[in-house]
Amino acid sequence: MINLEVLKKVVPGETVNRIDKYEQLKDITMKIKLLAAFFLTLLALNSNAQEATAWRNGTDGLYPASGLLDAWPDAGPAVLWTFEELGQGHSSPVVAGNYIYTAGMTDGTGYLFKLDMEGNLVYKKAYGPEYTESFYGSRGTPVIVGDRIYFVSGYGKLMCMMESTGEKIWEVDMVKDLGGSVIKWGYNETPVVDGNIIYATPGGKNSVVAIDRSNGKLLWSCPGKGELSAYCTPLLFTHNGRKILSTHTESHLLGIDATTGKVLWTHKHPNEWSVHANTPIYYDGDLFFFSGYGQGGGKLMLNEDGTSVALAWTTPFDSRMGGAVLVDGYIYGSGDNSREWRCINWQTGKDEWTSMEVGKGVTISADGKLFGYSDMGELVLVRATPVKFDLAGKTRVTIGSEQHWAHPVIHEGVLYLRHGKALIAYQVK
């Protein structure tokens, strides 16, 4: 800056005033540039930290909602709209912004679907071959992060697509590029996104991987036990400041340092068909794991730094792929070989109640209530209480096709349910 007090002694006042205004403008310009740089940096940081959508709303099956119906009329909740052109598949819907996304298959080709909130098609974009070996169609759920969509096909293609158009930006073949194997019923995984990292499970020598979501480049790989993948969407959680990724492979539950890819611990948990489709549940330093075909589950206690686990208790609860929810200290869900619906005490592992009033299936929760979708096509409302199986509503899903397997989603008082070719919107508020 020019010293104006010295300048006043040697130049006319008018000139000094002009120089003073110039210096003031220069100072203002510099401040504007600094503010612009600050906001651009903030924007960039915000872009990198955009919140990703997630299967089962963060894998725990708990949806933020209030004021939902305490009971349903005899005919069930009102159907707002249906979209019946999804083709074959079991992909759950996901809501981001003012749009709904899912995937389906027609004549062997997989398509990404984007709908508006009234069920109108925005686009249908082909992404490549989809699974046609058994139980045809799409499996995983799209993940939306800002202007990008991430998705895993039944054949193990991990893709990044433009949200606005569905155009593919990059693709990683988890079989050819990472040494994985297409398992009996195809890859059935929703990728987990954290900041600029995608976590996925090719299986084999690169059992679990971390990938740069901007370009598809491998950041680290973890050999785990060298086993095949097992239809499981991983759980990412923070334990005493340490980010841990936990997922099932063929016969083991893995605990992996999410920053380095180092195996922290493993826990053996096989079943007859190596199907472990349920994401574990973490709460208060403990981890609940469970799988079907009679195998059951249990709770692991993590040590302080998350490098080891000890078994606290086991349970016969053996959900095959319906998930479970933890509500106010109790686990709710339905079994497989043991078909009962159960309420399990988180602390003790003991059953508070069991019920066979509804068929086995999927469980999610919102507003202190359970929403179940059985493999017989029953959609039910159950009050979440350890006292009894408190059924408050029941209807039958007749729209759609094939298996009743997809996990429902609740968003702003509407329950969205995929049944094969159909997406159904129910008013539950």
DSSP calls for 97-109: TTEEEEEEEETTE
Distance CA(177)–CA(393), nearest Å, equals 48
| Residue closest to 236 by CA, chosen among 285, 279, 296 | 279
Whether the CB-CB separation of 363 and 407 falls below 8 Å is answered with no
Chain centroid, CA 166 distance in Å = 19
Distance CA(81)–CA(90), nearest Å, equals 19
Q: Please give the tally of structural domains in the chain.
A: 2
Asked if residue 269 belongs to a domain, the reply is yes
Contacts of 311 (CB under 8 A, 6+ apart): 267, 298, 299, 300, 301
Same-domain pairing of 187 and 251: yes
Asked if residue 55 belongs to a domain, the reply is no
Residue 220 corresponds to which tokens in the numbers above? 């680290």
Same-domain pairing of 30 and 159: no
- Give the residue-averaged pLDDT of 79-101: 97
Asked if residue 225 belongs to a domain, the reply is yes
Q: How many CA atoms lie within 13 A of 106 on its CB side?
A: 11
Same-domain pairing of 40 and 138: no
Q: Dihedrals φ, ψ of 426, to 5°?
A: -105, 135
Amino acid symbol at 298: G
Strands 78-83, 325-327: pairing kind = unpaired
Paired strand residues for 112: 103, 125
Residue 36 corresponds to which tokens in the numbers above? 């612009």
Mean pLDDT score of the chain, rounded to an integer?
A: 92
Distance CA(54)–CA(190), nearest Å, equals 8
> Which one is predicted more confidently, 16 or 229?
229
- Give the residue-averaged pLDDT of 273-297: 98
- Give the residue-averaged pLDDT of 318-330: 98
What is the per-residue pLDDT for 50? 76
- Give the residue-averaged pLDDT of 276-290: 98
Same-domain pairing of 20 and 92: no
pLDDT in tens, 356-384: 999 999 999 999 999 999 999 999 999 99
- Give the residue-averaged pLDDT of 248-261: 98
- Give the residue-averaged pLDDT of 97-106: 97
Whether the CB-CB separation of 288 and 315 falls below 8 Å is answered with no
What is the per-residue pLDDT for 265? 98
**CA angle, residues 315, 319, 324, in degrees to nearest 5:** 85
Residue 140 corresponds to which tokens in the numbers above? 């995983």
Residues of the domain holding 175: 61-427
Asked if residue 56 belongs to a domain, the reply is no
Same-domain pairing of 23 and 160: no
pLDDT bin (cut points 50, 70, 90) of residue 12 is: low
Same-domain pairing of 24 and 89: no
Same-domain pairing of 44 and 83: no
Distance CA(297)–CA(292), nearest Å, equals 9
Same-domain pairing of 151 and 37: no
Residue environment code for 241-264, b if the CB has 16+ CB neighbours within 10 A, otherwise e: ebbbbbbbbbbbbbbbbbeebebb
Q: What is the pTM of this model?
A: 0.88
Residue 342, pLDDT above cutoff 50: yes
Asked if residue 332 belongs to a domain, the reply is yes
pLDDT in tens, 126-185: 999 999 999 999 999 999 999 999 999 999 999 999 999 999 999 999 999 999 999 999
Provide the phi-psi class of 367: left if phi over 0, else alpha when psi is between -120 and 50, else beta. left
SS3 content of the chain, % helix, strand, coil (to 5): 10, 45, 45
Same-domain pairing of 109 and 235: yes
Residue 291, pLDDT above cutoff 70: yes
Residue 227: give its domain's CATH number: 2.130.10.10
Asked if residue 232 belongs to a domain, the reply is yes
Percentage of the chain modeled with pLDDT above 90: 88
Residue 241 corresponds to which tokens in the numbers above? 């400041």
Same-domain pairing of 361 and 232: yes
Same-domain pairing of 7 and 147: no
- Give the residue-averaged pLDDT of 115-124: 98
Asked if residue 30 belongs to a domain, the reply is yes
**CA angle, residues 63, 65, 70, in degrees to nearest 5:** 110
Asked if residue 54 belongs to a domain, the reply is no
Same-domain pairing of 171 and 238: yes
